[in-house]
Structure 1
Amino acid sequence: MREYLRRTATHGWIINVTPEGKQPPAANAVFNIETPVAIALFLRGEASDEYSPAEIRYIDIDGTRKEKFEALSHLTFDDPSWRSVRTEWTAPFTPAAATTWDDYPAVDDLLPWRNNGIMAGRGWVYAPSVDILEARLRDVINEDNAQAKAEKFLNADNTSLTKTKKPLPGVDTEQGTRRAFQDIPMLTQFQVVRCGYRVLDRQYVIADSRLLNRPSPKLWHGRVPDQIFAYELHSEYPRTGPGLVYTDLIPDVHHFRGSGGGRALPKIHPDGTPNLAPGLTAALRKHFGQIVSDEEVFDYIAGIAGHSGFVAQFDDELHTPGIRIPITTDARLWKRAVGHGRHLQWLQTYGAAGAHPKGYTDVRDCGIGTLLPSYEVAVGPGIPTSWSYNPATQTLHVGPGRWENVTREATEYVVGGANVLTSWLNYRMAAPKKRYTSPLDDINATHWSSSWSTELTELLSILTQLVNLEDQMADLLIDVIAAPQLTKDDLAGDGVKWPISDADRQPRLVTDGTLDLR
């Protein structure tokens, strides 16, 4: 459609009346809908030429609904706020970058295989503990009333009580999915897998394809040793926080911020080979005159985009969604970025991947060199109904439990504008803050698990260290931008084969010992 309009029209004007993005504040919404709204006007003059793209301009209309209508009533075609859009045939109708942003390779150019996270279509298949999932499964399986059973299950196009499916890849997934779920007489065993539900929130998912609308089976194939998933909010403006996040667990589709979707960019293919554009590592070795490993490329990307300074630096450019990565030509800057990227991955995976620069293996190690939060008063067995934070005393209260030395900055760490600590805690209260779409969603934790106390202590320590790493990563990015860089075209000239078709973006699967390129 974009190419057709560029070839057919001679002029165009895009008026974005929802620059806030999806789910704008109620007072700002032009219509009472979640979807962003824009007005598009196109004109075809007598001198139209299908080989010359139309001259298209763009403008944002900010403010409340009343203020937007007032601005529209006075808008003219010669308003100085109009901006020219990109001219490539299929490019989005968004403002052209005023910087060299469009010359950088996109993150999914560098890491071609990309995949949506798990799209379950029902929230009750996720929980922060296995016993909650067991209770929900027993409830729906033991339900004798057909209508009530369907209401609990939540039938959908791709999943229903009667629909069978191919099992998910992996020895730890349910293999008996050729039988309809409604035919299970009683719960004797079930399969759960730990997943990256949200950033730094490791929950469990029932690993049964009959219960997942779009489970992303290729991503399940990608659960191989040494795997790490970069995760990008590719279709929306990322608001505040880092441009990319990382997990060593299979991610939910809303892993990035709890809404808006997103996609995973795995470090390696299921067959263990690197998920990199062909020729990329060789081209970088040529420029640096030294060995550059495949792993370093993945780490460099993390070091460049895994912090809030990246989104702040490229705020205007990121209103056209999609992360791009400036590639330095300076070997010293490359090394700094690789180090920061490994450190970031170590933190965001609770120490399971990446590396601390001083070799620590425990995210709570007292030798790390910063005052880390401490767990001082036990939460106890009861399930808390609320939690609170006192910035004056730097104490976090969870029910009767108390953590000390918790900095305000750690409690305010956000990804995609969503507070990480708030999200983690709210899922573990007596009445979790989440979407309720099935009666099974009312079955929640009745006691506080001691493992949650351990994990919360780790989470607070990680958030503290992520905050401390932010300034170092932001300083590095400024240095990279100020120094010479390799453009996407430069790297193509050095032999890099960028992905241009769906076939270039498929995972390399291993099936029965043979390479399956489908």
Structure 2
Amino acid sequence: MPCVTHDDAPLLADLMPWSVAPPRLGRGWPAAPDPACLKARWDALMKATGEDREALFQSTRARTPHSAVGRLPGRDGGTERLARASGPCAEPVRVLYAPFDEQWLIPDQRLIDAARPELWRVADERQVFVVEAQGARDGAADGDAGPPLLATSLPPVLRAGRVRPLYRRPGAAEPNLALGLTGHLAARLGHAPSPVDVLAWTTAVARPTPAGLAVPLTGDVDAWERGVAVGRRMLWLMRRDGERPKLPGGRRPYVRAPLPSRPLTVRYDRDEEALLLDEGRVSPVPPEAWEFEAGGVRVLEQWFAARTEAGEPGTLAAIRPVAWPQAWTSELLELVTVLTLLAELRAERVALTSPGLPRPITPAELREAGVLPVPSAARRPASVLDAQEEGPEGQLALL
């Protein structure tokens, strides 16, 4: 039976042709795990004047307090130059700040070096962004690492690979898929897959190659349905969508010993399957959750560090919660469960394409069907003119 290998699989860059470089914040203080401290940082910036405000802002070549910048699409940030601004803080929004780490951001383009407005323009409750994980384009093996594609319903601002929205327009309009792809899959599978099905399959089987992420495709109905089922579960876990997940057997991690108000260290007790935050204790924490890595770093350690590392004195980043918020504990418990369940899916992901997929759909077949190559327009953002956008100093933006 002919099987497809990753060497003869289409590239993600061709199947989801529109992609955007990841946003670049340029300074750390406009993002934080706690929204209240972001408003406090903004207030401190507004109270400062002249050189003090400029020092707190942390200017770069791309942004200074004197930069003329428009409003982020769909957000309520101001547009006057920050050097003379005095208005309230834009309401912080939830973002994916790092792999599996949801934080908060002041959605004000004056604070962000490269906000990628085209991503914010299509962000809504039905959008799904997929991000190439760090190292995915280098052919990195899975090991304890997470999947090569991260998925989120939130605006992604993490420093990783390119961002691909599932839809090119708001309201789940115009899927960001190669024209004719779903039709060709329908002809091979006997039914038309939805855009989310294609994304689920892609999330489950995408693998790094030297040329970029490859997405093996199949015309075998059973193999396709297995892959879509695995991918949909991965999407559910990564997007934290709906009911909270549980560990196998219905278990859930709990706080067994109270967490201190300002924990400084995190350790793992493998024998007890416990996460130790100073004298605080959370269990059960399966080893798979503790060892789960993204970009060569343990996710749980990185998540903890983002909430406990002190900012440099005298900077806005030094304004942090005085005590560990209860919300962080809830997020930690859910993160442990998510990482454990994703790790358990790793074997199923590998089995989907090992040793190969039956009834392969190759790039040559897609070229013969006219699906590839994709037109150059498909690699550019669609025109989204549903709402007026405010440019610098309150002017109407020209799109």
Question: Unaligned 5+ residue runs, structure 1?
Answer: 1-98, 255-260, 312-317, 353-360
Where 1:346 maps in the other structure, the secondary structure is helix
% identity of equivalent residues: 29
Q: CA deviation at 1:492?
A: 2.0
What is the match of residue 344 of structure 2?
A: 468
CA distance in 2, matches of 1:275, 1:464: 30
* Conservation of the 8 A alpha-carbon contact between 1:221 and 1:509: no
Query: Is the Cα contact below 8 Å between 2:91 and 2:107 reproduced in 1?
Result: yes
Q: Does 1:458 align with 2:334?
A: yes
Match of 2:14 in 1: 109
Residue in structure 2 matched with residue 422 of structure 1 by the alignment: 301
Contact 1:113 1:505 in 2 (8 A): yes
In structure 1, what is the equivalent of residue 245 of structure 2? Answer: 363
Measured after TM superposition, the shift of residue 498 of structure 1 is 3.1
State whether structure 2 residue 380 is matched by structure 1 residue 506: yes
Q: Distance between the aligned counterparts of 1:285 and 1:392, measured in 2?
A: 50
- Which one is further off, 270-279 or 187-196? 187-196
Q: Structure 1 residue 438: deviation in Å?
A: 8.2
- Matched letter for residue 372 of structure 1: R
Looking at structure 1, the residues matched to 253 and 88 of structure 2 have their Cα atoms a distance apart, in angstroms, of 41
Is 1:216 the counterpart of 2:116? The answer is yes
Q: What secondary structure sits across from 1:295 in the alignment?
A: helix
Q: Secondary structure at the match of 2:307?
A: coil
- The one of 350, 354, 358 equivalent to 1:478 is 354
Q: 1:438 to 1:173 in 2, by over 3 A?
A: farther
Quote the residue 2:62 is aligned against: 158
Distance 1:513 1:281 in 2: 30
Contact 1:199–1:245 (CA<8 Å) still a contact in 2? yes
Q: Distance in 2 between matches of 1:119 and 1:437?
A: 24
SS for the counterpart of 1:323 is strand
Cα 1:509–1:464, aligned 2, differ >3 Å: closer, same or farther?
same
Matched residue SS, 2:384: strand
Aligned residues of 2:43 and 2:89 also touching (Cα < 8 A): no
Give me the whole-angstrom Cα distance separating, in 1, the residues matched to 2:262 and 2:127. Answer: 34
SS of the equivalent of 1:423 reads helix
Q: Structure 1 runs of 4+ off > 6 angstroms?
A: none
CA distance in 1, matches of 2:83, 2:140: 41
Q: Which residue of 2 aligns with 1:373?
A: 253
Relative distance call for 1:512 and 1:471 in structure 2 (3 A) is closer
Structure with the greater alpha carbon radius of gyration: 1
Unaligned stretches of 5+ in structure 2? Answer: 389-398
Could you tell me which of 10, 17, 26 is aligned with 1:121?
26
Farther off after superposition, 228-237 or 217-226:
228-237
- In 2, the alpha carbon distance for the partners of 1:408 and 1:102 equals 33
2:354 counterpart SS class: helix
2:152 corresponds, among 237, 241, 247, to: 247
CA contact (8 A) 1:377 1:402 kept: yes
Contact 2:96 2:158 survives alignment (8 Å): no
**Partner of 2:166 in structure 1?**
267
CA distance in 1 between counterparts of 2:230 and 2:183 reads 22
Closer, same or farther: CA 488–199 of 1 in aligned 2, 3 Å: same
TM-score, with length taken from structure 1: 0.69
Q: Which amino acid aligns with 1:495?
A: G
**What is the alpha-carbon distance in structure 2 between the residues aligned to residue 444 and residue 237 of structure 1?**
38
- Distance apart, 1:235 and its partner CA: 5.2
Cross-structure match for 2:195 = 294
Contact 2:19-2:162 at 8 Å conserved across structures: yes
Q: Distance in 2 between matches of 1:289 and 1:247?
A: 30
Match of 2:366 in 1: 491
Give a deviation string over 1:25-65, Cα, whole Å, max 9, x none.
xxxxxxxxxxxxxxxxxxxxxxxxxxxxxxxxxxxxxxxxx
| CA distance, structure 2, for counterparts of residue 420 and residue 440 of structure 1 | 25
CA distance in structure 1 between the partners assigned to 2:330 and 2:303 by the alignment: 13
> What is the SS of the residue equivalent to 2:262?
coil
Partners of 1:504 and 1:452 lie apart in 2 by 40
Residues 386 and 321 of structure 1: is their aligned pair in 2 closer, same or farther, counting only changes over 3 Å?
A: farther
Which residue matches 1:4? none
2:234 aligned with 1:344: yes
Q: Matched residues in 1 for 2:70 and 2:387: separation?
A: 20
What letter corresponds to residue 398 of structure 1 in structure 2?
A: L
Select 2:76's aligned residue among 173, 177, 181. Answer: 173
Q: Which residue of 2 aligns with 1:20?
A: none
Task: Judge conservation of contact 1:300–1:338 (CA < 8 Å) in 2.
Answer: yes
- Is the contact made by 1:121 and 1:213 (CA closer than 8 Å) also made in structure 2? yes
Question: What SS does the corresponding residue of 2:17 show, helix, strand or coil?
Answer: coil
How far is 1:329 from its partner? 2.1
Cα deviation per residue 1:404-446 (whole Å; 9 max; x = unaligned)? 11111210101232211111111111537xxx69822222232
User: How far does residue 325 in structure 1 lie from its aligned partner after superposition?
Assistant: 0.7
Contact 2:39 2:89 in 1 (8 A): no
Q: State the alpha-carbon separation in 2 of the partners of residues 198 and 149 from structure 1.
A: 28
Q: Deviations over 1:364-399 (max 9, x none)?
A: 3x7x6354322223325x221222211111111223
- Summarize the Cα distance change of 1:321–1:488 in structure 2 as closer, same or farther, 3 Å threshold: closer
State the match for 1:137 in structure 2: 42
SS of equivalent to 1:116: coil
Is the Cα contact below 8 Å between 2:27 and 2:112 reproduced in 1? yes
Matched, 1:195 2:95: yes
Q: CA deviation at 1:222?
A: 1.8
Please name the residue that 1:19 is paired with: none
**Secondary structure, in 3 states, of the residue corresponding to 2:175?**
coil
Q: Deviations over 1:443-490 (max 9, x none)?
A: 2232111011111110011111112111111111215x1523111120
What SS does the aligned partner of 1:250 have? coil
Call closer, same or farther: CA 1:347–1:426 in 2, change over 3 Å.
Answer: same
Whether the aligned pair in 2 keeps the contact of 1:384 and 1:430 (CA below 8 Å) is: no
Question: How far is 1:189 from its partner?
Answer: 3.7
Whether the aligned pair in 2 keeps the contact of 1:224 and 1:270 (CA below 8 Å) is no
The number of equivalent residue pairs is 379
Return the TM-score normalized by structure 2.
Answer: 0.88
3-state SS of paired residue (1:379): coil
